[in-house]
Each structure stands twice: as C-alpha cells, then as structure tokens.
C-alpha cells in the first residue's frame, strides 16, 4: 500500500530524509532544477561588465543532521539480539 502513495505524501517525505521533503515531489524538484538551469544559462551567456552577478538558487529542503556527542558504535546482529533477549 505504501508504494501507491503519491511522492508528495508525508510518508514518502520521511522515507526521503525528513519532514523538510514534505510536498517535494518529482515535479517540484524538476521545476527547481529548471529554474537553476535558466539562471546558470543567463549567467553564462549574459553580456556583463566586469563580473557576472550571482543568482540565488531555488531553496531546496535540506536534511538536518542529528546532534550527537560522538560517533555511535556499530553493533552486530548478535549484539542487538543479546540486548533484546536479556532478562530484566
């Protein structure tokens, strides 16, 4: 059932990296890429005086990194199993 969800759904966004991707489907990514390509083409082919102006890129969602104090140690499947099967 999850495969039939639209690419702008919250479930799809969370699988893509977080709530920042909510509403960002393939069509919206393509529009942002076209906007940036037009700006780059304008900058490259324009008749500028000394220096070409810097055009802003279309704002895209960015995944926020979790604040961790240190790198987490990787665990093997056996260690995870021991942790869950330990009697308390």
- Tell me the per-residue pLDDT of 19-31, one tens digit each, with 9 for 90 and over: 888 889 889 999 9
Q: Concatenated DSSP letters for 20-60?
A: GGTT--HHHHHHHHHHHHHHHHHHHHS--SSSPPPPPPPP-
Who wins on pLDDT, 2 or 77? 77
Please answer whether residues 61 and 21 qualify as being in contact, where contact means their C-beta atoms are separated by less than 8 angstroms. Answer: yes
Mean per-residue pLDDT over the chain, rounded: 82
> What's the confidence (pLDDT) of residue 30?
94
Total-model pTM: 0.62
> What's the confidence (pLDDT) of residue 5?
84
> What's the confidence (pLDDT) of residue 36?
94
Residue 63 structure tokens: 């995944």
CB atoms within 10 A of CB 59: 7
């Amino acid at each position: 059932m999850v495969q039939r969800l639209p690419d702008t759904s919250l479930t799809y966004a969370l699988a893509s990296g977080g709530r920042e991707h909510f509403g960002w489907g393939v069509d919206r990514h393509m529009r942002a890429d076209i906007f940036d390509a037009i700006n780059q083409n304008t900058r490259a082919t324009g008749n500028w005086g000394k220096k070409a102006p810097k055009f802003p890129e279309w704002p895209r969602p960015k995944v926020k990194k979790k604040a961790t104090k240190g790198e987490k140690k990787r665990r093997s499947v056996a260690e995870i199993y021991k942790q869950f099967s330990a009697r308390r």
